[in-house]
Amino acid sequence: MSIKSTKVDLKRFLERYPTREFKKGEIIIFQGEEPTTAYVVLEGIVKAYNISVEGNEKPVAFYGAHSIFPGPWLYGRSKIAAFYYEVFTPLAVLSVVPKEPFLEFIKSKPELLYEELKRYVSDKLGQTMRVNALEYSKASDKLLYTLHYLAVSYGRGTDPSHVELSLNLTHQDFANLTGLTRETAATELNKLKHQGIIDYGKHAPYIVNLKALIVLLHDQYVSDMEENAP
């Protein structure tokens, strides 16, 4: 069965259940809350994050079209939500799906289970890249490796050298992702813009020159991963 067919099956299943619209900044699930339902993203992006003891936001993941959350609760690994789930885009349209019917449905569809597995493997790769980025002490290195993570996980190729980020990130978002101050993140991003590594504007998405970024990183781990990517 093709990927297209599996998406049709999922669409037909979701049509049985209601949809809800949320605006940017609305929290769908609170950290520590016991969820009563799962959500599938139909439009928009949802951000998962926690709050540090200092009160700073720490993004964990972003969920786009066809993503389902909260995964740990849905698949029986946690009784409560480990993170806050908040709308990141101006609007998000979500399908509200009961836990047991969804599990019964997806268990009957090996192709969908495989797609879920691939999604979780991609998420795991992204998490590993995030940890790698945060281990660096220099602000410039933290930002460079974070940009590489974002380009690989949330980038759409525009030509052989460049990718466009699907996330409309602010300087504060980069600060939250890297543990830097907003001022430091803004300074480092401006340096990268002047170097031609990234390009962005007030109402324009981030464009990352991926080839130039990898050369700047000059890291064998990154180079090997790029050369062996499928």
Looking at the domain that runs over 3-115, which CATH code has it been given?
2.60.120.10
pLDDT value at residue 218: 73
Cα 211 from Cα 219, distance rounded (Å): 13
Say what the pLDDT of residue 215 is.
85
List of the chain residues with pLDDT < 50: 1, 220
Burial label, 24 (beta-carbon count in 10 A; 0-12, 13-18, 19+): middle
C-alpha span between 225 and 222 (Å, rounded): 5
Quote the pLDDT of residue 9.
Answer: 86
Predicted model pTM: 0.87
Residues spanned by CATH 1.10.10.10 within the chain?
A: 136-227
Contacts of 165 (CB under 8 A, 6+ apart): 150, 151, 154, 155, 205, 206, 207, 208
pLDDT computed for residue 199 by the predictor: 95
pLDDT of residue 56: 87
Query: The domain at 136-227 falls in which architecture?
Result: Orthogonal Bundle (1.10)
What per-residue confidence (pLDDT) applies to 229? 64
User: Which pair of structure tokens corresponds to residue 164?
Assistant: 């466009």
Helix, strand or coil for residue 68? strand
pLDDT for position 227: 61
Residues of the chain with CATH 2.60.120.10: 3-115
Cis amide prior to 230 (ω within 30 degrees): no
Cβ(67)–Cβ(95) below 8 Å: no
pLDDT at 101: 96
Q: What is the pLDDT of residue 7?
A: 77
Q: Which helix (H) or strand (E) holds 198?
A: strand 198-201
- 192-198-199 Cα angle (round to 5): 115
pLDDT of residue 222: 55
Contact call for residues 86 and 46 (beta carbons, < 8 A):
yes
